[in-house]
Amino acid sequence: MASSSSSIFSGVKFSPILTPFNSGDSRRSRCVKDRNNKVRFNPSSPRLTPNRVRVEAQSLIPSNGLWAQRTTNRGGLKRSIGLGQGSAIFRKEATGISLSQGRNFCYTCKRTQSGIRRSLPSAFVDRTSFSLSRSRLTSSLRKSSQILNATVRPDEPHAAGTAWPDGIVAERQDIDLLPPEIDSAELEAFLGCELPSHPKLHRGQLKNGLRYLILPNKVPPNRFEAHMEVHVGSIDEEDDEQGIAHMIEHVAFLGSKKREKLLGTGARSNAYTDFHHTVFHIHSPTHTKDSEDDLFPSVLDALNEIAFHPKFLSSRVEKERRAILSELQMMNTIEYRVDCQLLQHLHSENKLGRRFPIGLEEQIKKWDVDKIRKFHERWYFPANATLYIVGDIDNIPQIVHNIEAVFGKTGLDNEATPTSSTPGAFGAMANFLVPKLPAGLGGTFSNERTNTADQSKMIKRERHAIRPPVEHNWSLPGTSVELKPPQIFKHELLQNFAINMFCKIPVSKVQTFGDLRNVLMKRIFLSALHFRINTRYKSSNPPFTSVELDHSDSGREGCTVTTLTVTAEPKNWQNAVKVAVQEVRRLKEFGVTRGELTRYMDALLKDSEHLAAMIDNVSSVDNLDFIMESDALGHTVMDQTQGHETLVGVAGTVTLEEVNTVGAKVLEFISDFGRSTAPLPAAIVACVPTKVHVDGAGESDFNITPGEIIDSIKSGLLAPIEAEPELEVPKELITQSQLEELTVERNPCFDPIPGSGLTKLHDKETGITQLRLSNGISVNYKISTTESRAGVMRLIVGGGRAAETSDSKGAVVVGVRTLSEGGRVGDFSREQVELFCVNHLINCSLESTEEFIAMEFRFTLRDNGMQAAFQLLHMVLERSVWLEDAFDRARQLYLSYFRSIPKSLERATAHKLMIAMLNGDERFVEPTPKSLQKLNLESVKDAVMSHFVGDNMEVSIVGDFSEEEIERCILDYLGTVKASHDSGKLPGSEPIVFRQPTAGLQFQQVFLKDTDERACAYIAGPAPNRWGFTVDGDDLFQSVSKLTVAHGASEMADGLSKSEEQLLEGGDRDLQRKLRAHPLFFGISMGLLAEIINSRLFTTVRDSLGLTYDVSFELNLFDRLNLGWYVISVTSTPGKVYKAVDACKSVLRGLHSNQIAPRELDRAKRTLLMRHEAELKSNAYWLNLLAHLQASSVPRKELSCIKELTSLYEAASIEDIYLAYNQLRVDEDSLYSCIGIAGAQAGEETTVLSEEEEPEDAFSGVVPVGRGSSMTTRPTT
Active-site annotation, residues: 249, 320
Cis peptide before 468 (omega within 30 of 0): yes
Phi/psi for 715 (5° steps) reads -65, -35
Q: Count Cβ atoms within 10 A of the Cβ of residue 984 and give its class: 0-12 exposed, 13-18 middle, 19 or more buried.
A: exposed
419: DSSP letter: P
Those residues whose C-beta lies under 8 Å from the C-beta of residue 795, and which sit 6 or more positions away, are 854, 855, 856, 873, 953, 954, 955
Cα(327)–Cα(1103) distance, integer angstroms: 13
The C-alpha atoms of residue 663 and residue 584 are separated, in whole angstroms, by: 11
CA end-to-end span of the chain: 12
Q: What is the DSSP code string of 116-170?
A: EEE----S-EE-----SSSSTGGGGT------SSBPPPTTS-----S---TTBPP
CB atoms within 10 A of CB 1105: 16
| Bridge partner list, 793 | 857, 957
Task: Compute CA distances 105 → 11, 77, 900, 929, whole Å.
Answer: 12, 20, 31, 38
State how far Cα 206 lies from the chain centre.
37
DSSP collapsed to 3 states, 918-972: CCCCHHHCCCCHHHHHCCCHHHHHHHHHCCCCHHHEEEEEEECCCHHHHHHHHHH
**8 A C-beta contact, residue 259 and residue 267:** no
Q: How far apart are CA 275 and CA 236, in angstroms?
A: 8
In a 13 Å sphere around the CA of 1203, the CA atoms on its Cβ side amount to: 13
CA atoms within 13 A on the CB side of 482: 3
Could you tell me if 573 and 80 are in contact, meaning their C-beta atoms sit under 8 angstroms apart?
no
CA distance 1020 to 1088: 18
Rg (CA), the chain: 29
Q: Where are the beta strands (DSSP E) in 256-355?
A: 268-273, 278-285
For residue 1104, the 8-state DSSP code is: I
Asked, as a colleague might, if the bond just before 542 is cis with ω within 30 of 0, I would say no
How far from 1233 is each of 916, 1001, 1018, 1022, 1113, CA to CA, in Å? 9, 9, 6, 12, 13
DSSP H helical segments within 672-764, as ranges? 706-718, 736-746
Contact 730, 828 (CB under 8 A): yes
- As a whole number of angstroms, the distance between CA 1202 and CA 832 comes to 39
- Bridge partners, 168 (sequence order): 730
Check if the beta carbon of residue 207 is closer than 8 Å to that of residue 213.
no
Q: Which amino acid type is present at position 497? A: F
| Length of the chain counted residue by residue | 1277
> Position 986: which residue type?
L
What are 52's strand-pairing partners?
150, 546
Rounded to whole angstroms, how far apart are CA atoms 1096 and 1146?
A: 11
